[in-house]
Structure 1
Amino acid sequence: MGVRNLDKQIGKVTHYYDKLGVAIIDLDSGGLKVGDKLKFKRGEEEEFNQNVESLQVDHQQVDSVKKGDSFGLKVSQPTKPGTLVYSV
């Protein structure tokens, strides 16, 4: 299951806290809000979908983020810096 043409790359993982299961993501385009669906992809082997259940900016809970924001997201699977994030 590759990246579909409808999927739009919106950001990239810059850090992953394995003990917390939290990815730090730089949002390069668009916006994102609680309830949106994301796809994480790094090469061909790593791919999973994730619903946005909560977002944090500077350790504060927020409902949405915009282009240029760096935010924390609890993820369902481990990921690595450099993983691309798509809106689906």
Structure 2
Amino acid sequence: MLGVVTHYFPKVRAAVIKLKGLLSVGDKIRIKGHTTDFTQVVNSIQIDHVVVNQAKKGAEIGLLVNSRVRQHDAVTKA
């Protein structure tokens, strides 16, 4: 598992994800939960409102998502 969703902001369709591995812009990820299951390419990563190209294990990142996600949804590489 690459990480887990800790929060979701529906107005801007952004998720906060606690990473358990390395994530880079351009990676293809899958977000899966009880009612969630989709894949997408990572177009942008933010840490503390600063855009970065890569985030390491332990970081809490902001990520724009294509669909609604929920707290505790799992994030894996697709």
Give the TM interval when normalised to the shorter protein.
over 0.9
Q: Which residue of 1 aligns with 2:5?
A: 13
The residue matched to 2:2 in structure 1 has which SS?
strand
The residue matched to 1:50 in structure 2 has which SS?
strand
TM-score by length of 2: 0.96
How far residue 63 of structure 1 moved from its aligned partner, in angstroms, is 0.4
Q: Which residue of 2 aligns with 1:75?
A: 65
TM-score by length of 1: 0.85
User: Unaligned 5+ residue runs, structure 1?
Assistant: 1-8
The CA distance in 1 between the partners of 2:73 and 2:36, in whole Å, is: 9
Whether the 8 Å CA contact 2:46–2:62 is kept in 1: the answer is: yes
Q: Which residue of 1 aligns with 2:46?
A: 56
- Over the matched positions of the two proteins, sequence identity in percent amounts to 40
How far residue 50 of structure 1 moved from its aligned partner, in angstroms, is 1.0
Question: Aligned residue pairs: how many?
Answer: 78
**Are 1:33 and 2:24 matched, yes or no?**
yes
Q: CA RMSD in A?
A: 0.8
The CA distance in 1 between the partners of 2:51 and 2:3, in whole Å, is: 19
